[in-house]
Structure 1
Amino acid sequence: MKLRSEFIFAGLVATTSLMLVAALVRHATSDTPLVGTYELERPERDDLPPAPTLNEISLLDSIWVAGLPFPEKMTEDQKCLAEALYFEARGETVRGQIAVAEVILNRVDHSTFPDSVCDVIYQGSKNKNACQFSYACDGLPEEYSEAGAYERAQRVAAFLLEHGAWGFTNGAIYYHAHSVSPSWAKKMKPLANIGNHLFLGPDDPPSEESEG
Structure 2
Amino acid sequence: MSKSIRGISLVAFCAAMIAMVWPSAAPVAGDHIVSNLEPGAIVLNVPAAAQQGLPFSPIPIENELDIDQTPRVGLSISDEPAPAIDLAALVGDVADMPRSELDDDMRCLASAIYYEARGESLEGQLAVAQVILNRAENDRWPDDICAVVYQSGQFSFTFDGKPDVPTVKGAAWKRAEAIAIIAVGEGWQDVTDKATFFHATYVKPGWRRVKEQTRRIGGHIFYR
- TM-score normalised to structure 1 length: 0.62
For the Cα contact (< 8 Å) 1:61–1:93, is it kept in 2?
no
Matched, 1:67 2:67: no
Q: Which moved more, 1:158-167 or 1:168-177?
A: 158-167
Change (3 A) 1:98 1:70: farther
Equivalent residues in 2 for 1:49-60, closer than 5 Å: none
- How many angstroms apart in 2 are the aligned matches of 1:116 and 1:164? 19
Matched, 1:156 2:179: yes
Bigger helix fraction: 1
AA aligned to 2:208 is A
For the Cα contact (< 8 Å) 2:133–2:145, is it kept in 1?
yes
Partner of 2:212: 189
- How many angstroms apart in 1 are the aligned matches of 2:103 and 2:181? 9
Q: CA deviation at 1:155?
A: 1.2
Kindly name which structure, 1 or 2, has the bigger radius of gyration based on alpha carbons: 1
AA aligned to 2:157 is Y
Deviations 1:128-148 (CA, angstroms, capped at 9, x unpaired): xxx111111112223525611
Task: Point out where structure 2 has 5 or more consecutive residues left out of the alignment.
Answer: 1-20, 26-49, 55-85
What percentage of aligned pairs have identical amino acids? 34
- How many angstroms apart in 1 are the aligned matches of 2:98 and 2:116? 21
For the Cα contact (< 8 Å) 1:70–1:155, is it kept in 2?
no
Tell me the SS of whatever aligns to 2:223.
strand
Task: Point out where structure 1 has 5 or more consecutive residues left out of the alignment.
Answer: 1-33, 43-59, 125-130, 202-212
- How many angstroms apart in 2 are the aligned matches of 1:78 and 1:62? 20
Deviations 1:86-142 (CA, angstroms, capped at 9, x unpaired): 000111112111111110000001011001000000011xxxxxx111111112223
Alignment root-mean-square deviation, CA? 2.2
- How many angstroms apart in 2 are the aligned matches of 1:153 and 1:70? 15
Partner of 1:120: 148
Matched, 1:40 2:52: yes
Change (3 A) 1:98 1:143: closer
For the Cα contact (< 8 Å) 2:200–2:219, is it kept in 1?
yes
AA aligned to 1:82 is A
Tell me the SS of whatever aligns to 2:216.
strand
Matched, 1:105 2:133: yes
- How many angstroms apart in 1 are the aligned matches of 2:204 and 2:121? 22
For the Cα contact (< 8 Å) 1:101–1:157, is it kept in 2?
yes
Partner of 2:12: none
Change (3 A) 1:150 1:87: same
AA aligned to 1:176 is H
For the Cα contact (< 8 Å) 1:123–1:132, is it kept in 2?
yes
Tell me the SS of whatever aligns to 1:163.
coil
Aligned structure 1 segments of 4 or more residues deviating by more than 4 angstroms: none
Aligned residue pairs: how many?
145
- How many angstroms apart in 2 are the aligned matches of 1:168 and 1:174? 13
For the Cα contact (< 8 Å) 1:82–1:154, is it kept in 2?
yes
